[in-house]
Chain A
Amino acid sequence: MCATCGCDSGGKTTFRLLDKDQQAEHDHKHVFAAGHDHAHSHFDSHDHVHNHSKTIIEVEQDVLLQNNLLAQRNRGYFDAKNILALNLVSSPGSGKTSLLERTLTDLKGQLDFAVIEGDQQTTNDADRIQATGTDVTQINTGKGCHLDAHMILHALQGLKPKENSVLLIENVGNLVCPAMFDLGEKERIVIISVTEGDDKPLKYPDMFHSSTLCIINKTDLLPYVPFDIEKVKANAKKINHHLEIIEVSCTTGEGLQVWYNWLKSKVLLPETT
């Protein structure tokens, strides 16, 4: 049983903190049940002599309450350490890891970073992050299609991001499920690429509604694909009038400076340096 949150261990989610020197890849295999194993005593099948009368229980409880409480707890941790936590969401292959690689390389020495990678399988993305020299924990969710606050809580235990750092969380590639699960992040960033079709915001409104920044990636491919960037922006704004939009190409580097400026504007510098 996990002392921090009381969860039962023996589940399917695994955590792996990647070390900077690759050979010492020790396993922080704090494993817990994401799809909790239920070892309940179920209703008895004995012959009832006594009478069970029926009772109504007024529950009125938010199903996501547990996740939201843990997210608040993560948020408190981030606030106390002045960590800027960002949750990056997109369909598979929109360029989340590419954006992180570019960012970590280009801003090296300017900001402190730590990364949490969420994927169903493999440590491929974490390996790519580690190659930039950044601390990274890989969460493998197995069949799980999203990260939740509970997983982040455990990933933080191994990762221990520095004070005043930026924590980049790459969610599982999926434009539906991660929308419902607050991780305790400060900002949610939805990434779409120009090869995905310009009706993405209308098809996946929850994600665009819950994000604060939308990055349109792979603009270098605009000459080759039918993608009406103005239409996408208009549709995204219809769904969420607070949404900021930045166009980039991780391949050519075009527009990345705008993203870096956005990022730096969100970092609250400590009192003394």
Chain B
Amino acid sequence: MHELSIVMGIIEIAERQAKAADATIIDEVELDIGTLSGIETEALEFAWKQGVRQTMLEYAVKKINQIAGKARCLDCDAEFAIEKYEDACPICGEHLLDIIQGKELRVKSLLVS
């Protein structure tokens, strides 16, 4: 359950930013999570409930932007959507891919007051 470490990381970032802005309440936190980031949404939900207790994020609304996987084929240069690392290039069938999107794991923004 590395998701708990991830939630701790989110809390650390959010609290530091909120305090720096002199805020006392975090109303909303917006996260960018790529589908290839290694984060299980269910596990994250579970870890979130445990992790945010008694922190500034305890009552914050969590918004998650799921970012779809995208790759570039090193053989034919095509760009296309992928769901898994094992996916082949739909144009030439090769597996020599560069992941160009989908590994994001970011705190995008906060709404504070």
The residues of A with any CB-CB pair to B shorter than 8 Å are 35-36, 38, 40, 42-44, 52-67, 144-146, 148, 176-181, 201-202, 205-206, 208-209, 235, 237-241
Contacts and interface: CB of A to CB of B under 8 A. Distances in A.
Contacts of A36: 8, 12
B86 A59 contact: no
B9 A63 contact: yes
A179 B37 CA distance: 10
Nearest to A174: B2
Contacts of A42: 54-56, 58
A53 B112 CA distance: 8
Interface string B73-113: 00000000000111010000001110000000111111111
B109 A56 contact: yes
B67 interface: no
Contacts of A205: 84-86
B57 to A, nearest CB: 10
Contacts of B86: 201-202, 205, 235, 238-239
Interface residues of B, number: 43
A2 to B, nearest CB: 15
Contact of B4 (A35, A59, A63): A35
8 contacts: A43-B24, A60-B107, A144-B5, A180-B37, A206-B36, A209-B85, A235-B86, A240-B85
Complex A-B, nearest 6 residue pairs according to Cβ-Cβ distance, in ascending order:
A177-B2, A52-B113, A239-B85, A205-B85, A63-B9, A57-B110
Interface in B6-44: 6, 8-15, 17-18, 21, 23-25, 27, 36-38
Interface in B39-69: 54-56, 58
A208 B86 CA distance: 10
Contacts of B18: 57
A55 B111 contact: yes
Interface of B: 1-2, 4-6, 8-15, 17-18, 21, 23-25, 27, 36-38, 54-56, 58, 84-86, 88, 95-97, 105-113
Contacts, number: 121
Contacts of B105: 62-64, 180
Given A40-B55, A57-B18, A146 B27 contact: no
Given A53-B113, A57-B112, 6 more contacts: A36-B12, A42-B55, A54-B113, A55-B112, A59-B13, A180-B105
A178 B109 CA distance: 27
B77 to A, nearest CB: 16
A44 B19 CA distance: 13
A63 B24 contact: no
Contacts of A144: 5
Contacts of B10: 63
Contacts of B12: 36, 66
A136 B21 CA distance: 45
A241 B14 CA distance: 37
B108 to A, nearest CB: 6
A268 to B, nearest CB: 28
B43 to A, nearest CB: 9
Contacts of A44: 24
Given A176-B2, A202-B86, A237-B95, A38 B55 contact: yes
Given A56-B111, A237-B95, A180 B38 contact: yes
Given A55-B21, A57-B18, A57-B112, A206 B38 contact: yes
Contacts of A208: 85
A189 B16 CA distance: 35
